[in-house]
Structure 1
């Protein structure tokens, strides 16, 4: 699975040019709005001018790195502010592969398609471990796949596209497997604020030089366009990752970082709780209608995606286009996430029209 061109933008472009009214459930752009402190932070920054409009420190504003470090209970020197979670994963995977400790990246199937693409771009070899029907990942399957050729073990929790959440026991084992094979566990935790199960465990709970955690504010603060993410790594990895970051991007956006810093300081827990509750309700609404459509589906423990399989309707790109044209609902083909669920489709529940979309699907497959 090369994944040189993830299908997201191809599907979004098709939906944008389709006739009629289309409910967009393709990409994970939160629709519930950012906390007011994000805009407040931007307004405050706009009034600073002068030096504050110039390059920030390459590794990120010190105040933001200190805020992240305090929240994640790590040293500020371990934090690198990145251009979204995408660059954070690129830096972490690049570090794993440049250590001459193997060239394989072990990841799940189904998989977020940017991971295989980055692996290929970085000169690595993809190795896939199939998840269970509910999206859970058995550490023993990962242990069996890992070897002296393994440079990186990549996990995403809560998971896109399955919605699975990996608990403390699983994460402990993933860290241990990385240590056993002199590999780096890269734990992408961008959906950590969207855990419905209460079982989410960060890899940061386990002190090890063999783990790097990546995250982003894109989803949690509903600011996907700001491109502010971060990674946390021991200094032996953080220093070369900072060099790669500087050579690739010089620095991340200073106004976006300033706004995020203000929002972190001024936004209380109610904002995150309310967005979780909204998504929990949408999951219930959407899956109830999928029952009416006779579909098999995943019930996510976290994040905001549902995978569904409809009778005699495999999740190909062509069938995704058919749903856009005939049902007025745009999802993602399961084939875009690997081979294990290539007869499924994935829907992002980030639209206030979730119930309408579900009704359209139920009517189409009735």
Structure 2
């Protein structure tokens, strides 16, 4: 007998697609999977060594629920220097992954009947987290021809609007918002006394552009909740390590949820986070360079086939328009069954994505090339 709140939420489409591909792979079928948003690189050695050293010296016990002081200090320094935020360690909470952070934020700032704005298409877990909190999602369309920027978001604000979610660089489109776009969102938030959740998990995976944190804009310091983590930039998805910077009352609310649920992030993992921030950054640069090569190969190949796809400014996803061949759901199934290529239907990310598929290029150049050849054979 499931609770009524579960009826408001669907299972993760990205994980569902990956599970189907994995099942076929277990049956001996060679599946090229472009589904999960997970770097295929190993975590840099110095990070692994730091976590192992912490484990063996006995850092295997409970930590403060908000995180160890060493990591909070390192994050505060990073936010001040890189993101131009006026960050203090006391206004930071370490979470078991950025996804847990987002869940805690929604549960902390949203009430029954509140509204939260998402720019369509948006990452699959924002909407369920909003619904778990008892609030309602308001979808603002974006323009694929204009870099998936939100179109007239001010028209969707009501007296129930409590939160705007910004994800730049974004999943699933790889869109990177420029200064003017972010300023427009900031102005809306300030004029209407709305909070902004800025999910910056892909900030370091960016190509020939500058990442801007909306919390650094004038008037946005106290109304921005900045979310980040280590999964994408440092290839640490399995480590489950994220963090939030926000004003003290929001952090206090999140801490209530965290202390009564997951308690804290894993002790020795947090020391790995310190090493990630304070250690050499060359592995990040090298990884981004390789992602860029993969992006160019994939996007150029998709356009050559006839699938319209802009080059994303960040993250590691291509969001391809398949309307010339069918809708996203149908093409997703066709590619899996006929070409043994697993992608994610764009409809999983919102109504605007119904004619798209998301392709994660977090895999080798060889597999991308083979995947393109299979896609061409299946569609052309």
Are residues 1:75 and 2:88 paired? Answer: yes
Are residues 1:12 and 2:18 paired? Answer: yes
Task: Give the match's secondary structure for 1:116.
Answer: helix
Query: Contact 2:78–2:277 at 8 Å: present in 1 too?
Result: no
2:65 alignment counterpart:
58
- Counterpart-to-counterpart distance in 2, 1:312 and 1:199: 35
1:289 alignment counterpart:
301
Equivalent of 1:356 in 360, 363, 370: 370
The aligned runs of 1:171-320 (5 Å cut-off) are 171-206=182-217, 207-268=220-281, 270-310=282-322, 311-316=324-329, 319-320=331-332
Task: Give the match's secondary structure for 1:284.
Answer: helix
Task: Give the match's secondary structure for 1:230.
Answer: strand
- The alpha carbon displacement at 1:237 in A equals 1.7
2:134 alignment counterpart:
123
- The alpha carbon displacement at 1:115 in A equals 0.6
Q: Which runs of 5+ in 1 are unaligned?
A: none
Task: Give the match's secondary structure for 1:288.
Answer: helix
- The alpha carbon displacement at 1:362 in A equals 2.0
Query: Contact 1:309–1:344 at 8 Å: present in 2 too?
Result: yes
1:155 alignment counterpart:
166
1:36 alignment counterpart:
45
1:127-167 residue CA offsets vs partner (Å, 9 max, x unmatched)? 000111144324x6121111221011011110101111012
Equivalent of 1:332 in 313, 319, 344: 344
Single out whichever of 175-184 and 279-288 deviates more from structure 2: 175-184
- The alpha carbon displacement at 1:335 in A equals 1.2
- Counterpart-to-counterpart distance in 1, 2:247 and 2:66: 14
- The alpha carbon displacement at 1:212 in A equals 0.5
- The alpha carbon displacement at 1:199 in A equals 3.2
Query: Contact 1:148–1:182 at 8 Å: present in 2 too?
Result: no
- The alpha carbon displacement at 1:54 in A equals 1.1
Query: Contact 2:121–2:353 at 8 Å: present in 1 too?
Result: yes
TM-score normalised per structure 2: 0.90
Query: Contact 2:325–2:331 at 8 Å: present in 1 too?
Result: no
Q: Which runs of 5+ in 2 are unaligned?
A: 1-6, 81-86
The aligned runs of 1:88-167 (5 Å cut-off) are 88-98=101-111, 103-134=114-145, 135-138=147-150, 141-167=152-178
Query: Contact 1:289–1:362 at 8 Å: present in 2 too?
Result: no
TM-score normalised per structure 1: 0.93
1:331-353 residue CA offsets vs partner (Å, 9 max, x unmatched)? 10111111112121100010112
Query: How many residues end up aligned between the 2 structures?
Result: 359
Are residues 1:168 and 2:174 paired? Answer: no
1:145-191 residue CA offsets vs partner (Å, 9 max, x unmatched)? 11221011011110101111012222233223222222210010100
- Counterpart-to-counterpart distance in 2, 1:145 and 1:296: 29
Task: Give the match's secondary structure for 1:225.
Answer: helix
- The alpha carbon displacement at 1:14 in A equals 1.2
